[in-house]
A = this chain, B = another copy of it.
Amino acid sequence: MTGNRAAWGTISRDQIVAAATRIVRAGAYENMTMRSLALELGVSPMSLYRHVRDKDDILDEVVDRLLARAWRPSSNHVEWEKWITSAADKLRRFLVAEPAALHVYLRHPVVTPAAISRMNAMMDVLRGALPDDDTARRAYAAIHTYTVGFAALEFSRSRWSDSSDNADDLVVQLASYTTREQFIDGLHALIRGLQC
């Protein structure tokens, strides 16, 4: 017998990602550490690194799986603006609800399968609605930027307790401008501007 060593081939990349996905789905992203993950898989922490580059590598794949189930607009809107709005709002919700996703989106460009599917779907709609390809690309980039930016600020605000009471009225008012309505409002302004 081998002391206390786990059997050869105990873990695979898929199992690691699956376990991580389960943990994140359970809302325990903050407590998902390499050590806790290893413990759950009955393996030593360093063993994970045989199958995975680093923690972000795992998160990339976890987030892709979650995104695949989260990005599609609620229904097939006839008007393209509604479809785009719904798609953008879905991504915003996703990023705010899933800190792991925001982490990934802010760390590097996301080019995983689900993200690419989503991009292609949005580009198809934008290409059909705007004069030329270049305009569509610029529109996509601007909308994406606004969406991720909004999600980042909305999330950062959510973990904020106003410790200082000397709070400027304007500050408070603006800091609280991270509601869904605000998002839609700004997004519509952006879309209007992109059509000119």
A residues in contact (CB < 8 Å) with B: 105-109, 111, 116, 119-120, 123, 137-142, 144-150, 152-153, 156-157, 159-160, 164, 167-168, 170-171, 173-175, 177, 182, 185-186, 188-194, 196
Instruction: Report A191 CB to chain B, min CB distance, Å.
Output: 7
Nearest CB on B from A82, distance (A):
16
Cβ A190 vs Cβ B142 within 8 A: yes
Q: Give me 10 other A-B pairs in contact (C-beta within 8 A), A105-B156, A108-B156, A193-B194 excluded.
A: A106-B156, A111-B167, A111-B168, A116-B171, A123-B170, A141-B174, A142-B189, A145-B150, A152-B152, A191-B193
Decide: B175 and A119 in contact? CB cutoff 8 A. Answer: no
Stoichiometry, copies per complex? 2
A130 to chain B, nearest CB (A): 11
A167 to B112, CA, bound (A): 10
Find out whether the CB atom of B108 lies under 8 angstroms from the CB atom of A159. yes
In the complex, which residue of chain B has the Cβ closest to the Cβ of A138? Answer: B185
CB–CB A177/B111 < 8 A = no
Chain B residue, CB-CB nearest to A187: B142
- On whether the beta carbons of A168 and B138 are closer than 8 Å, the reply is no
Cβ of B177 and Cβ of A188 under 8 Å apart?
A: no
Query: Which residues of B lie under 8 Å from residue A138 when comparing CB positions?
Result: 177, 182, 185-186, 189
Closest partner residue, chain B, to A167 (CB atom): B111
A111: which B residues are within 8 A, CB to CB? 164, 167-168, 171, 175
Query: Hey, which chain B residues are within 8 Å of A119, CB to CB?
Result: 170-171, 174
